[in-house]
Structure 1
Amino acid sequence: MFGFSFEGFSAPVWFLLLIAVLALVVGYVVVQRIRRRRTMRFTNLELLEKVAPKRQSWLRHVPALLLVISLMLLTTAMAGPTAEQKVPRNRATVMLVIDVSLSMEATDVRPSRIAAAKVAAKSFVDGLTPGINLGLISFAGTASVLVAPTTDRKSVAQSIETLRLAESTATGEAMFAALQSVEGFSQIMGGAQGPPPARVVLMTDGKQTVPTDPDHPRGAFTAARAAAERKIPVSTISFGTPHGSVTINGETQPVSVDDDSMREIAKVSGGEFYKAASAEELRKVYDTLGEQIGYELKDADASRPWLALGVLVLLISAGGSLLIGQRLP
């Protein structure tokens, strides 16, 4: 269902037909008055009462009234009313970037961060609208483009299932790799309409470690500024809790999430920041992103309800006229 917008009409000039409808109303009133004057000349009032009983006097006007209403509805339909509707995007590029550093082995999110991330990411992939070209990047100490932007959801889902953990977290490198993939794909798919709109979805659970400074030329904040310059927003998902830990080489190490960095990346690039501390929260975040990315609001044609209602009222008018007056209005 959608809401009607009475402000937007694609062809408002058709409303001039309402002048003709008004003329018909005036003509109908005039004819009725003339008919009434002629009838009053009938000298036999008792016979007149039998021929035209008062109880039906108002009913005979109903078909004409319905006819006028139907003409007004049909005129509105011809004026091209528009309504803001949610429609699937038919062209866009999305790079899904997933952290596979060793901290994703933490079990503060059951059964583990990486296991929950895989399930949620595959759900996101399956629910994305067909017109979206989706690519996949994994990153730890380096970034790997696993799938270039494509509408083939099966290849992306299979690559998510095969994700393996590695040391370090090179968030900036992953973002630069995503931007490069978007630009390469845009050069191929640009066409007369220009490059399709693009977005990066970055899911990570910790702070960048390679390099340690996010403002380094290959750092995450630098990449966020580059994304802003290219008008490619980065939506970040900070996944995990402050109490996560992993055991590496026999030593237990805390792996707290870094909300501040993810919030800053989203802010600088023009994207949105999301926080997920459980598998269910992560799934809801991906569902929200799927709605935002896969659909857009457009002013679309909304004349069909007006046309259908106008025809229906017209049919009722014709039926009522035949029933009451044994003739069409």
Structure 2
Amino acid sequence: MAQKVIRIGTRDSELALWQAHTVQKKLNNLDYKTEIIAVKSQGDIILDKPLYELGITGIFTKTLDIAMINGQVDIAVHSMKDVPTVLPTGIVQAAVLERANTLDILVHKGNLDFLNESGTIATGSLRRQAQWWNKYPNHTVVDLRGNVNTRMQKLQENDWKGAIFAAAGLERINLKPENYINLDWMIPAPAQGAMVVVAMASDDFCRDAVAQLNDIETEVCTHIERQFLKTLEGGCTAPIGALARYNEIEDTIHFNGVLFSLDGKQKIEVNKIVPIEEWKKLGYNSAQEIFANGGTKLMATIKESLKK
């Protein structure tokens, strides 16, 4: 019997295709046959509305979910931070690849004097917007949508001082310019820098194949971050950052999680170092701590504001 060809579903942006080809190469090296099938997502098509108005959950993944459920593709490759914390029925996480750079960066034009004065920067992310305003309350933040190439082009065409990007995305497709600064004070999106492969729960062949690509350290850290996000947001979008890191020497996990108000003025943070054995509930417990410190009220306010 001929070996099944694994059809890899992906968005058709340059970054998404780079990610799909990376997975393809790894599977080919394990002697699996593969082909790439690219589709356009609603998140790539509708560029004139802020993400939170589109009902952000799954906007970049829905088209591929449908293609998988309909049997047009076998697996799908995503930037893990774009994937809803609850997967559709029948679809499972099959592997998380070793994580890349987790940092956000500011790509800027000209000098950085504006940081101490006033200026306009661009981002389509509520999390980045809130953290920027928290640090630079006198700045203007404008919405910026599209794939990384589109966003980079829009930055050049407008008179903004800069735009915020995930370092990993720009590094993967060699788009990271010389004029950038690392925003090491900004807490990244949960699972930023990680790629995830999803498959149908019933497809043992593809799940077994893809499982060989899994990086356990990245899987554990992104699980913690996404559990924190899922517990806090309950299906709503909010300015939430989370980063878990494994310390090999001490065999501990360092977790930093944060919830901001939309205007960045209010910040509720949790910082924890726990033994590795406690990882399974770390995200949940950290979110409960945020709730206890005013997060319940803040999340209610955010949900109310986004409805308007």
TM-score after normalising by structure 1? 0.27
More helix, by proportion:
1
CA radius of gyration, larger in: 1
Higher relative contact order (CA 8 A, sep 6+): 1
Q: TM-score, normalised by structure 2?
A: 0.29
